[in-house]
Amino acid sequence: MDTAGVVFELFKVHQGNRLLRTRSTADDAEVDLCASATPDGHHVYATVVNRNISDEHTLEIVLRHVALTDKASVRFLVPRAVTFDQRTFDQHDEHLPIAADKRLTIRLPKGCIARIDLGSRDARILY
């Protein structure tokens, strides 16, 4: 799969889902986030882009109105190099803890795209 296909693969989890309201950001913000919930309410997905190619960012997500398990699954796509002629990513998965106060903290490497799965069969969105 080419680079565009790998990136679109991360975002396709939002198809058919209900978009969730997130804090609005400026068009030129260094971090961009899209979040959605599956129709059955058992999964919340977020895709996050660190547009900054010089610095990493730490992102904190506060989960309201969601009953979840204690971990989130995250797939990271990290550019091997940030140049126009190098468009390949290293891909890895992590399981990150969700704190008791429903906060998830994620370190986003420079130029990273991440897909976060915040749910399981036991999770439920409380609309």
Give the tokens for residue 48. 């996050």
- What's the total number of domains in the chain? 1
Task: Name the residue range of residue 49's domain.
Answer: 3-125
- Give the predicted TM-score (pTM) of the model: 0.79
Helix residue spans in 2-103 (DSSP H): 3-11
**Percent of the chain's residues with pLDDT above 70:** 83
Question: Can you tell me the mean pLDDT for 4-26?
Answer: 82
What rounded mean pLDDT belongs to the chain? 81
CA distance 80 to 65: 37
Residue pLDDT, tens place only, 87-121: 678 888 888 888 888 888 999 999 899 999 887 54
Indicate whether 56 pLDDT > 90: yes
Predicted local confidence at residue 108, as pLDDT: 94
Residues 108 and 56: beta-carbon distance below 8 Å: yes
Burial of 45 (0-12, 13-18, 19+ CB in 10 A): buried
Domain containing residue 44: CATH number: 2.60.40.1180
